[in-house]
A and B are shown apart, each in its own frame.
Chain A
Amino acid sequence: MTLVSSLLESMTGIHIFYVVGLLIFITLFIVIFIRTMRRPAAEMNEYKESIFNDKDPDGSERS
C-alpha cells in the first residue's frame, strides 16, 4: 500500500479536482440554502398541499 501511495503522491494536480468539487458543492449549498429559506411560507404551503388537489376515489381530498 505504501508502495502504491508513494507512487501516487507524485501525481501532481489530482487533489485539485477534489478540492474544486468540494468548493462547488459548498457554494451551491449555501446559495440554495439561503434562497430556499427566504421563500415565503405561503408559497411552500401551497406546494405541499398541491398533492391533495385531485379527486381521489375514497374522497381523501382536502382542499
Chain B
Amino acid sequence: MENQKFYYDNKTVKLFLLATIIWGVVAVLVGVLIACQLAFPAFNFGLEYTTFGRMRPLHTNAVIFAFVGNAIFAGVYYSLQKLLKARLFSDVLSKIHFWGWQLIIVLAAVTFTLGISTSKEYAELEWPIDILLTVVWVIFGWNMIGTILKRRVQHIYAAIWWYLATFLGVALLHVVNSFELPISLIKSYPIYAGAQDAVVQWWYGHNAVAFFLTTPFLGLMYYYLPKAANRPIYSYRLSIIHFWSLIFLYMWAGPHHLLYQALPEWVQALGVTFSIMLIAPSWGGMINGLLTLRGAWDKVRDSAVLKFFVVAVTAYGMSTFEGPMMSLRNVNQMTHFTDWTIAHTHIAGMAWNGGMTFGMLYWLLPRIFRTKLYSEKLANTHFWIATLSILVYAIPLYWSAVTQWLMLREYTPEGFLAYPNFLETLTQILPMYTLRIISGIMFLTGFLIMVYNLFKTMAAGSVEANEAAEAPALVLAGKRKPLNETIHRWMERKTVRFSIWVFVALFIGGAIQIIPMIFIKSNIPTIDTVTPYTPLELEGRDVYVKEGCYTCHSQVIRPFRWETDRYGDYSKIGEFVYDHPFLWGSRRTGPDLARAGYVNGPMYKNSAWHYNHFMDPQKMNEQSIMPRYDWFAKKDVNLDMTPNKIRAMQTLGVPYPEGFDEQAVDDLLWQANQIVAELKLSGIEIEPTKEMVAMIAYMHKLGRDIEPNTNQNLDSHDTGE
C-alpha cells in the first residue's frame, strides 16, 4: 500500500490552547471576585454591573464554556488528527469554529454584565447567542465527523467515541433546553413553565456536566494519559463497556437536582436509581485510568503531567461517588441548597477538569511548539499549590454546609426554631468564606505560574503550523462479519451508524423523562386560586431574573418542619404553572422567598421594609451579605415592552383575558400607585415607574395566591376581570 502525504493542522490546536490559558485566568479571577463578594459585600462595588447576581453566571460560564470548552477543542483537534492520521476536515471550518467560539464568549461576558440573562443555570445566554452557539457547535461536529470520514486508519480509537458522544449529547441538550419565545433581541421567555421548566433545565444542567465536563474529558483521558505515561490503556474491553453504560445511564439522572421539591414521586425515584447506577461506569473509567499507571508510579513522582492526571482521575472517582450519594434523599436534605454542592462542583471542576487540562497543557504545548517545557520545577510547584488549594476550598465548605444545616433544623426544647433568623446561620459560616478566598488566590497563583511557564516555553520554540506526515490510505471495510465481530466494533466502523446509536442511547434517557412531563397535563394539578402575574409583578419578576437574585435565593419550600416553620407552607407543583422561567434556585445563600408575600407567614415584610432593604441591606442587618440595589429607585421599567410581554405570555398559554395587553400599562400604573401611596405613608417618595416598585409588587405576590382569606384589594384586579 502506497503512503499518502498529508499535513497535521497545528495552528488551530495552538489557537485553542492559547484561548484556554487566557480565558482560564479570566474565569478564575471572576471566581475570586465572587468569593470576595460573598465574604465582604463591599466587593460588589455598589455597581449594578458587578453585583454577585451578574458575576456568578459569568464565572460559571467562563469556567465551563471558555476555559474548559477551549481546552476540549484543543485536546480533541490534536488527538483526532494523530489518531486518525488525517488533517482536520476543513481549514475554513476550523477557523469559523475558533473565532465563532471566542465571539460567543465575549458576547456572554458582555451580556451577563449588562444583566441580559435567561436565569437558567449554565444556559443563561439569551436566544441570539443560543443560536450562534448552535451554529458553531454544528461546525465543530461537522469538522470532526468530516475528519473521521477521511481517516487513514480502520479502527476508531476509544477516545473518539467520547468526542462523538460529546458532540451529539450537547447538541441534543442545548436545543431542547433552549426553546424560548423571544420578545426582543435581548429578552425571551422559555416555552416551558414551572415544574416542567425545572425538569428540562436540570435534565440539561445535569447532562451539561455529563457531556461537557465528563465525556470529552474521558476521551482526553483515553488519549493523553497513555501518551504521557507511554503505556497503553489498562483495558480496552473495559473502555467499551464503560462507554456504552455511561452514555446510556447519564441522561436519566437529571431530576436528582430537584429532590424533595415539588416534583412527582416517580420522577424523583427515577433520578435516584439511575444516579446510583451511574457509579459503576464512572468507576470503570477511573479504574481504567489509574491502572494504566500500574508499574509506572515512579514516573508519576517526577512528572507534573502525570501527577495532574492522577489527581484528576482520582477526583473524578470521588465526585462520581459523592454525586450519587448526594442524590440519596436523606443526604440530599442536607447537601441541597447548602455549600456542600458548591464544594462538590469545585472538586470536580478544579481537580478533574482543571487537573486534566493542566496536565494536557503541560504535555501538549511543548510538543506543538517543538521544544521542552521551560521548567518542570515550576510545573511541580503549580501542581502542589493547586492540589492544596482544592483542599482549602472543599474542607471549609463541607464544614459550612454541615454547620448551617444543623443550625437551620435545630429546635429549642419548647419546640421553636433555635435560630429563627436565617442570618444567624449565615454569620456562623462567614469565616469559611474567607478561607475560600484564600483558596481562590492560591489556585490563581498556581495558574499564573503555569501561564509564565508556558509563555516561556512558547518563546523558546516555534509552531510548525502544518506538520508533514504520511500514512497509507484506508482500505474500505466490507460488510459485517457477524460471527467474529462485536456489535460495537461493527457499529463504529461506520461513523454515521455509530453516531446514530449513540444518539438513540441518549435519546431514550432524555425522552423517558421529558415526554411525560410535557404531554401529560394531569402531571401538574392546577390550583384555582393561583392567578397569573399582574403586569407590574411580571416586570418585577423580570428584574429578579435580570439581577440574578436566584443565585442566592430559592423559591421552593421542601416539606420538612424546619423549612415550613421558617419559610411557610411547603410548595405545591400547581403554584408554578405561570412561571416562565421557573425560579426555584439551587443555593440558599439568603433565605427562601417562595412565601415572601404570604401576609401572615414568617417571611412577610411590608413595602417600606423592602424599599430600605434593597437600598442598603447592611443598614437593615449589619451582617447581611446581600448586595445593595439602590439603582432600583432610579431606573425605570420599560413600559413599551409591557404589552409585548403580556402577549408573549398569552402565546405561552397564560390565561390573561383577550385584549389585556392593551390595558397592561394602565393596570401596571394603577397597582404601582397603590405601592407608591403605601410607601408615602412611611415617608418614602418614589415614582410609580421605578424598578423598585415593580420588585416590591413581585415580592408581595410570592406565595400569596394560596394564602386563605387575605382578600387583598389587588386580587380582584389581578387580571383585569
Contacts and interface: CB of A to CB of B under 8 A. Distances in A.
Partners in one complex: yes
Interface of A: 1, 3-5, 7-11, 14-15, 17-18, 21, 24-25, 28-29, 31-33, 35-39, 44-52, 54-58, 60, 62
B252 interface: yes
Given A18-B266, A50-B153, A32 B522 contact: no
B449 interface: no
A9 B522 CA distance: 11
A17 B232 contact: no
A23 to B, nearest CB: 11
A52 B232 contact: yes
Contact of B264 (A8, A17, A52): A8
A8 B523 contact: yes
A38 B237 CA distance: 10
B249 interface: yes
A22 to B, nearest CB: 8
6 contacts: A8-B266, A18-B266, A28-B248, A29-B241, A50-B155, A51-B82
Contacts of A44: 235-237
B233 A48 contact: yes
A29 to B, nearest CB: 6
Given A24-B508, A58-B367, 4 more contacts: A5-B264, A25-B245, A35-B487, A51-B83
B245 to A, nearest CB: 6
Interface stretch (B94-102, B222-230, B687-695): B222-230
Contacts of B488: 32, 35-36
B469 A51 contact: no
Given A47-B155, A50-B153, A60 B227 contact: yes
A4 B265 CA distance: 8
A18 B523 contact: no
B329 to A, nearest CB: 11
A18 to B, nearest CB: 6
A54 B8 CA distance: 12
Interface in B210-248: 223, 226-227, 230, 232-233, 235-237, 240-241, 244-245, 248
Contact of A47 (B236, B266, B509): B236
B66 interface: no
B512 interface: yes
Contacts of A39: 237, 486, 489
A51 B265 contact: no
Contacts of A11: 264, 266, 516, 520, 522-523
B522 A25 contact: no
A13 to B, nearest CB: 9
Nearest to B251: A21
A40 B83 CA distance: 22
Contacts of B49: none
Interface residues of B, number: 51
- A-B interface, 4 closest residue pairs, ranked by CB to CB distance from nearest: A48-B232, A5-B265, A35-B486, A44-B236
B588 interface: no
A25 B263 CA distance: 25
Contact of B241 (A1, A32, A50, A62): A32
A21 B508 contact: yes
Contacts of B244: 28-29, 32
B382 interface: no
Contacts of A18: 266, 270, 512
B194 to A, nearest CB: 13
A1 B508 contact: no
B371 to A, nearest CB: 9
A48 to B, nearest CB: 4
B264 A51 contact: no
B653 interface: no
B572 A51 contact: no
B573 interface: yes
Given A44-B237, A56-B367, A8 B265 contact: yes
Q: Which of B230, B370, B570 neighbours the largest number of chain A CB atoms within 10 Å of its CB?
A: B230
Contact of A37 (B157, B237, B509): B237
Given A1-B559, A35-B488, A36-B240, A14 B157 contact: no
A31 to B, nearest CB: 7
Contacts of A17: 512, 515-516
A25 to B, nearest CB: 6
Contact of B572 (A3, A29, A45): A3
B85 interface: yes
A41 B252 CA distance: 33
Nearest to A21: B512
Nearest to A9: B265
Contacts of A14: 266, 516, 520
A49 B522 contact: no
A47 B157 contact: yes
B655 interface: no
Given A4-B573, A8-B266, A51 B157 contact: yes
A18 B512 CA distance: 7
B431 interface: no
Interface in B487-516: 487-489, 508-509, 512, 515-516
